[in-house]
Chain A
Amino acid sequence: MSTDVLAAVAAEPGVPKPNPILVVDDVRRTFGGLVAVDVRHLEVERGTITSLIGPNGAGKTTLFNCLTGFDRPQAGYWAFDGHRLEGRFAYQIPRYGLVRTFQLTKALDRLTVMENMLLASRGNRGERLLGALLRPSWRHTEDAARQRAERLLETFELTRMGHDLAGTLSGGQRKLLEMARALMTEPAAILLDEPMAGVNPRLRQTLCEHIEGLRDGGLTVFLIEHDMDVVMGISDWVVCMAEGNVISEGPPAVVRADPAVVDAYLGSHDGLAPVDERESHEDETS
């Protein structure tokens, strides 16, 4: 377990880590007058599960979007595995070993589950227009990709669905597929945006085990999650954002008890309790 690595790290925002894979500096994204993200310094330790929490609208998704080239911050820079990534296009990011999933699941509906997986494979020679018609030139990479896909589908219990169109999967299965598909890119780190949303409790347990398995296999997992039970259960480290800033970080229990975190949630009428925060969100309007 990599928790030990972080045992000596102080629980304070922006604290340096022994072996960070992702280092974020002064990233600022505003929409008109609204400061969506304003992160001074943030490090994510390699080989850990780090959770990003915070009330609705805290800027978590926007931070992910900036880091992965889906949004352009007005300022800031960040490095992944020693490579500076600011200014890169979204499609270039996975080449550095960084891949993300989306808060609103993006299954490719009219492709089969297996096609969804194969599409994500790396260095597939048949993906070049010249050569696409020469099956012998790409059969080798395609077969290798298929083997990897079959292993991943088995891990995520999707083998049975391989030939089904992804559009026919249930919401939870789509989440699983999206995660498995991201892993096809052979990443060093994966950013998951609310992987548990809409997933039933039994499957949540399984999904948590998968994520821990990935971490134990050496992958870095940086995930946004609202379910406090999940966050407390699987995180090696927790980062809390509010109004664009990192207001707290540390081991799960420490962050949970941090008055700044409690304040942030109370201030947003979200509540830290493991109830669905969307219920309390409705109180706001009433």
Chain B
Amino acid sequence: MDVLNVFLDAIRVAIGPQAAVFALAGVGLNLQFGYAGLLNFGQVAFMLAGAYGASMTVDAGGPLWLGILVGMAAALVVAMLFGLPALRLRADYLAIVTISVGEIIRLLVRSSTLEPVTNGVFGYRDFAAWFYAINPIPAGRYGVGNLAFPARTLWLIVVAWTLVLLASLLVLGLMRSPWGRVVRGIREDEDAVRSLGKNVFMYKLQALALGGLMGALAGSLRAIDSQAVRPDFFLTITTFMIYAAVILGGAGTIIGPTIGAMALWFVISFSEGLLRLGIESGVIEFLDPEDVAAIRFMIVGLALILLVVFRPQGLAGKPEAGLLDEH
């Protein structure tokens, strides 16, 4: 392994299914947080809804495509659970409600009591055969060297990034419409928007639900990618990682979540690869290989801090948007 291979590996991860899942969930979170100013700390609960909707439907004998729709319907229920108690209150209450309701949902799903329904901690496996069966790409490996994918992964990548593109275009279209103008106004000052005759609550609920639908789709994709679903895949840390991606790329920009998700996974993979390379070749002697996984997240944290200091608007953001925040 040399540095070039580590780099190609990192690129492979940055355009791989995990990055696409983060990007899609990030496009949804960006609609909620970046444009509507909603502090949704429960994005992972929407992903859980999407993953379990898909896997439980298949387990019950239904087709996977129906399961994905079921997951989206479940996401709308989650949006109501988040929004109805908290959206009329101050912004910070939404943060508290989403983080706790999200955890409650995960703990319910993994509880022994609900195990007959949800399979508890074991979850589901091998429910996405249909998705890989309809893969039109002929079998084989595509790419060069370390930057190559088997046909089934490539199929998932194509579908996932296509969904990211469609979701981004949807957000772009909405933000250029009068609907998006109201939503962005709410982010700035919801009382002002209210005083001008807009039903702020409804707009917030719509933004929350729409972003949640994208989160659910991302959750379904994640489940299809790993062919496994367990409650503990959906810890709150995932929500924070998606926040990291959105802020890294630029909250309130169209391509920010995509750039951020790619950059995030690139940094994670590249730093891990370099550390391992250093340890193997004896350049880095003071580190135990077992610590690498933890240290790469420290490096991500450092990158975020540097970004917030030197480029608060994110990689894709316009400088003036960052400056105005200081008012």
Enumerate chain A interface residues (CB-CB to B < 8 A): 68, 70, 89-95, 99-102, 106-111, 115-116, 118-120, 122, 124-129, 132-133, 135, 138, 142, 165, 167-168, 181-182, 184-185
Contacts and interface: CB of A to CB of B under 8 A. Distances in A.
Given A110-B184, A129-B206, A138-B178, A102 B196 contact: no
Contact of B184 (A94, A111, A167, A185): A111
Contacts of A120: 196-197
B197 A132 contact: no
A113 B188 CA distance: 13
B195 A68 contact: yes
A127 B178 contact: yes
Given A94-B197, A165-B320, A165-B324, A132 B188 contact: no
Contacts of A107: 189, 192
B188 A111 contact: yes
Contacts, number: 110
A182 B327 contact: no
Contacts of A135: 177
Contacts of B193: 108, 119
A110 B322 CA distance: 10
Nearest to A96: B197
Interface of B: 170, 173-174, 177-182, 184-185, 187-189, 191-200, 206, 210, 252, 320-321, 324, 327
Interface centre among A91, A99, A107 (most CB of B within 10 A): A91
B177 A102 contact: no
Contact of B177 (A90, A116, A132, A181): A132
A53 B39 CA distance: 40
Contact of B324 (A92, A109, A132): A109
Contacts of B327: 109, 167
B179 A129 contact: yes
Given A100-B195, A119-B196, A110 B324 contact: yes
B15 to A, nearest CB: 28
Nearest to A167: B324
- Specify the main secondary structure of chain B where it touches its partner: helix
A101 B195 CA distance: 8
Given A109-B327, A110-B324, A127 B195 contact: no
Nearest to B169: A133
A211 to B, nearest CB: 18
A126 B324 contact: no
A90 B174 contact: no
Given A94-B195, A100-B195, A122-B197, 19 more contacts: A70-B194, A91-B197, A92-B197, A94-B196, A99-B196, A106-B195, A107-B192, A108-B193, A109-B324, A110-B252, A110-B321, A119-B193, A119-B196, A120-B196, A127-B182, A128-B179, A138-B178, A165-B324, A182-B196
A120 B194 CA distance: 10
A185 B188 contact: no
A119 B198 CA distance: 9
A68 B177 CA distance: 28
A93 B198 CA distance: 10
B197 A95 contact: yes
* Those 3 A-B pairs whose CB atoms lie nearest each other, nearest first: A94-B197, A126-B178, A106-B192
A253 B206 CA distance: 52
Contacts of B252: 110
A181 B188 CA distance: 15
A109 B186 CA distance: 11
27 contacts: A70-B195, A89-B199, A91-B198, A91-B200, A92-B197, A99-B196, A102-B195, A106-B189, A106-B192, A108-B192, A111-B185, A115-B185, A118-B178, A119-B178, A119-B196, A124-B178, A126-B177, A126-B178, A126-B179, A129-B206, A129-B210, A132-B180, A133-B170, A135-B177, A182-B195, A184-B196, A185-B196
A286 B206 CA distance: 52
Nearest to B252: A110
B101 to A, nearest CB: 23
Nearest to A92: B197
Given A109-B327, A129-B206, A133-B174, A90 B194 contact: yes
